[in-house]
Structure 1
Amino acid sequence: METKMENVQSDHQNWIYCFGEMLLVFLPALLFIKCTSSWVGEDLIRSYGVVWVANLLMLAMIWTSLKLRGQSWKEFGLTFNPVSLKQGLRAFGQSLVVFVFAVSCFILGAIIMANITGIPDSADFSRYDFLKDNLGGLLLSLLGVYFISSFAEEVIYRAFLINRIAEITQSFKYSKLIAVLLSSVFFGLIHYEWGAMGMVQTGFMGLAMGISYFVLKKRLWTLIIAHIYMDTLLFVQIYLASN
């Protein structure tokens, strides 16, 4: 009986600690974005800059929380060790499978929303006019997006968020499933600027990436590479549309 009470108390303390970690990671970044929103306005370059800083803040807080736990990035499946050719080819093949899975879920989200709300008007690409006949601008934009989106989003919304939610819900039978679902909802909500359809699409994409995270035994670089494919495809489409 005493051991059971100790376990309950330990779970309660762990829940509070994990929840506090998530607040410390997300709250300063959200406040920073909120405080700079009037300065950013419709300026895309300023928007990128603010998101860069916000993501750096979150990554710094995640690194700090890992250090306080006596852990490293390896806890999330993020390693920086050299890999063999065989390992590299395997990761490449797996990333292509994840890419197809995530894009399929993204399209599924669009189909579901189109049946609910109808097909939206054509997207407005006027904010990307700077890409017109500007291949250098496209390449620089891709480099920025690879950090802001491909790398940072996988570390923050897949590795950190999924692991902490799974830790909070570890007493439940389907804790990993709960973690993937909740992180996908949160991932969709942070894309609120994309509208209702965009939030559902990115939520479904997050669901695919979260499932892949566990299926691949937390091989985070594989997810990051797959995300790079998606961001490249998106920006090349925007570049072609702006021209």
Structure 2
Amino acid sequence: MPNTSPQDSAARPRKWDLAALRDLVIVVAVLVIVKQSVLPYSYLYAGPASTFSAMAVATYLLWRRGLGWRDLGLRWPTSWLKTAGLTVLTMAAFIIATQTMQLAADYFFEDVGASGRFDHIEGNLAAYIGIMLLVWTHGSFFEELLFRAFVIDHSSRLMGGGLGADLAAAFLSSVFFGYRHFYYQGMHGALISGAGGFAFALLYIWFGRRNILPLVFAHGIFNSLGQTFRYLGIRD
């Protein structure tokens, strides 16, 4: 019988992978429970607290299966020029998806923005530096690794793998990503965030499993621009 490595096993998921279901449920539960537990005490840090916690748990669950984030796409690029090009492509796809969804969201729901969650940043250099640290941890690396890499990978395994399972997993991950933004952006923002998450999810299926950094960089750049505009007092 031929030997198989953990990576070989990861490349050929079984039908109804119960281990993937277990790990997926655990990580999603951590994301939801920690955020809801922290929300009464901190509107700003509930999201970051949940992603930091979920990253620790997800890393352990991958390690227990002989895997790591590299197996889900966090790798040193073979070409930084290609990575830069894919980052620009990712940003363009995100803009198209979110602007298209905004047409529908504007018609049905009120745009509440960020509900004042980041108002303290305007003109406050210390707060701006602090939020930028969160942007490049929680808001770029951790969200992409969790909501794209982990959720899509494990959801697809659960459904047996293949293109159909990947697309269903992409949709599920985008719904969850939209839900994650509902508590401070309302339904309007949740729909737009979900649409952007779906664009990112499709790109993860295309190239992110080999190199997720373009998604991380695009996510971080968008968030950095948004927070910089808030710091400078630039309004839409």
Same fold (TM over 0.5): yes
Which amino acid in 2 is paired with 1:238?
A: R
Equivalence for 2:196: 205
Contact 1:92–1:222 (CA<8 Å) still a contact in 2? yes
Identify the residue that residue 180 of structure 1 maps to in structure 2: 170
Across the aligned residues of Structure 1 and Structure 2, the Cα RMSD in angstroms comes to: 2.3
Q: Compute the displacement of 1:242 (Å).
A: 6.7
CA contact (8 A) 1:129 1:242 kept: no
CA distance in 1, matches of 2:228, 2:161: 45
**1:203 corresponds to which letter in structure 2?**
G
Partner of 2:15: 11
1:161 maps to 151
Given the two structures, how large is their TM-score scaled by the length of structure 1? 0.81
CA deviations 1:62-113 (Å, max 9, x no partner) are 111111211121210112x4x56xx112111110110111122111111111
Q: 2:207 aligns with which of 216, 220, 231?
A: 216
Given the alignment of the two structures, is residue 89 of structure 1 paired with residue 93 of structure 2, yes or no? no
Assess, with a 3 A threshold, how the Cα gap between structure 1 residues 236 and 74 changes in structure 2: closer, same or farther: same
The answer to whether residue 71 in structure 2 is matched with residue 75 in structure 1 is yes
- The partner residue of 1:226 within 210, 218, 222 is 218
Task: Name the aligned partner's letter for residue 197 of structure 1.
Answer: H
The 8 Å contact of residues 148 and 201 in structure 2, kept in 1 or not, is answered as yes
Unaligned runs of 5+ in 2: 1-13
Match of residue 231, structure 2, among 225, 233, 239? 239
With normalisation by structure 2, the TM-score equals 0.83
CA distance in 2, matches of 1:100, 1:229: 12
Match of 2:25 in 1: 23
Instruction: Please give the per-residue CA displacement for 1:176-204, whole angstroms capped at 9, x wherever unaligned.
Output: 11111111111111111210110100010
Q: 1:66 to 1:108 in 2, by over 3 A?
A: same
Give the structure with higher Rg (CA).
Answer: 1
Measured in 2, the distance between the counterparts of 1:127 and 1:188 equals: 17
Percentage of identical aligned residues: 22
1:62 matched to which residue of 2? 58
* Conservation of the 8 A alpha-carbon contact between 2:15 and 2:159: no
Deviation at 1:57, TM superposition (A): 1.4
Residues 142/94 of structure 1: CA separation in 2 closer, same or farther (3 Å cut): same
What is the aligned counterpart of 1:116 among 82, 101, 108? 108
Q: Confirm or deny that 1:36 pairs with 2:38.
A: yes
Per-residue deviation, 1:121: 5.6
The one-letter code of the counterpart of 1:57 is: S
Q: Tell me if the contact between 2:35 and 2:50 (Cα under 8 Å) persists in the aligned partners.
A: yes
Q: Aligned equivalents of 1:106 and 1:66: distance in 2?
A: 32
Taking the TM superposition and a 5 Å limit, the aligned residue runs for 1:93-172 are: 93-117=85-109, 120=110, 123=113, 126-170=116-160
